[in-house]
């Protein structure tokens, strides 16, 4: 028995509250996990506020991430006592998620918690940091090396952006950090950004091709911001796109692709195959500066998650938010 955040709907009205959770209430799955830590992500904030139709079935427990300890397993890869992490797979959208005391899930969705990372650190990384690493792996796979030139990160003060900045800087890349909150410049520079760019510079419609500036990019914005990033990407450069904070549209032309050979690499962290997940988590355990991770992390209790969700959507949150559920178990 424990507590969970529940989202329900009556007609068009959505209700969100903390309620008691019994193990018997949990949906089907072949692995039961006691949750140590969870997080508040952008998608969770959308679900809790109802700002976007993220939740596909009601009632729903939000929380697209969790880290914890296996207590029961009928899956061949896991046994009681194993420390595990889950990101994505529709958890918190179509299947009850991690803002709860327990979760019962498909064991195929789980990844062993890498050695060298605590459950809290894994959730400080969360889907945001794991997605940032998938973006970095995409840049590397397409040959964007530190000596190729500067890499730009949009939405740099957010969760994905903060982890992306520190990962890139630690690997030796020169990083330009784009943010709508230029007051966060010192924070981003402390994470390793070489300089900070006001998002307004990229928010207005630009030319089909602009001056070549960046060898690569990690973009969480989409829309006009992404169009301008593509237009200013160098010949043979690579842009890893993983978000739509500025919108789902993409008002661009084919010019960057056919005149400069720019690659637009789409990053889908939700259903990423397990081998790629394992590699992303292996690299995070090796490459991420844990001191920087701690500096970008804020801890809030479960009973503050609902009130914090609107602030997340209004851009008031810096970095990552972690939620202790039963921190002593892992």
Cα–Cα nearest to 168, from 327, 283, 59: 283
pLDDT at position 245 is 87
Cα–Cα nearest to 295, from 164, 215, 175, 190: 190
Counted residue by residue, the chain has a size of 330
pLDDT in tens, 312-324: 888 787 889 999 9
Query: pTM for the whole thing?
Result: 0.92
Considering only the top CATH level, what class is 2-113+300-329?
Answer: alpha beta
* CB 149, CB 174: distance < 8 Å: yes
Average pLDDT over residues 18-39: 96
Cβ neighbours around 143 below 10 Å, total? 13
pLDDT at position 1 is 65
3-state percent helix, strand, coil for the chain, nearest multiple of 5: 35, 30, 40
* CB 41, CB 128: distance < 8 Å: yes
Mean confidence (pLDDT) of the chain: 95
Residue 306 DSSP SS3: helix
Strand partners, 238: 216, 263
**CATH 3.90.180.10 domain range(s) in the chain:** 2-113+300-329
Alpha carbon 2 to chain centroid distance?
Answer: 26
126-266 CATH: 3.40.50.720
pLDDT in tens, 119-161: 999 999 999 999 999 999 999 999 999 999 999 999 999 889 9
């Amino acid at each position: 028995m424990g507590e969970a955040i529940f989202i329900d709907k009556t007609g068009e009205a959505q209700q969100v509250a903390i309620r008691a959770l019994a193990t018997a209430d949990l949906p089907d799955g072949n692995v039961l996990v006691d949750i140590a830590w969870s997080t508040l992500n952008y998608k969770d904030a959308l679900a809790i506020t109802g700002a976007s139709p993220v939740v596909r079935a009601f009632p729903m427990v939000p929380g697209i991430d969790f880290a914890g300890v296996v207590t029961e397993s009928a899956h061949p890869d896991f046994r009681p006592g194993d420390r595990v992490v889950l990101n994505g797979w529709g958890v918190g959208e179509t299947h009850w998620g991690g803002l709860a005391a327990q979760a019962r899930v498909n064991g195929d969705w789980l990844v062993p918690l890498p050695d060298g990372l605590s459950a809290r650190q894994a959730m400080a990384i969360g889907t945001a940091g794991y997605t940032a690493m998938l973006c970095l792996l995409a840049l590397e796979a397409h040959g964007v090396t530190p000596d190729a030139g500067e890499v730009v990160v949009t939405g740099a003060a957010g969760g994905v952006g903060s982890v992306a900045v520190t990962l890139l800087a630690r690997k030796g890349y020169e990083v330009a950090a784009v943010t709508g909150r230029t007051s966060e410049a010192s924070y981003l520079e402390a994470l390793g950004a070489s300089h900070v760019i006001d998002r307004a510079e990229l928010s207005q419609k630009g030319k089909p091709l602009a001056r070549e500036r960046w060898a690569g990019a990690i973009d969480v914005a989409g829309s006009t911001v992404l169009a301008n990033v593509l237009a200013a990407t160098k010949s043979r450069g690579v842009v890893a796109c993983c978000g739509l904070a500025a919108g789902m549209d993409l008002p661009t032309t084919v010019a960057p692709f056919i005149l400069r050979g720019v690659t637009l690499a789409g990053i889908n962290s939700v259903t990423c195959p397990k081998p790629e997940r394992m590699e992303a988590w292996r690299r995070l355990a090796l490459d991420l500066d844990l001191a920087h991770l701690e500096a970008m992390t804020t801890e809030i209790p479960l009973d503050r998650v609902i009130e914090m969700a609107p602030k997340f959507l209004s851009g008031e949150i810096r970095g990552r938010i972690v939620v202790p559920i039963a921190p002593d178990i892992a």
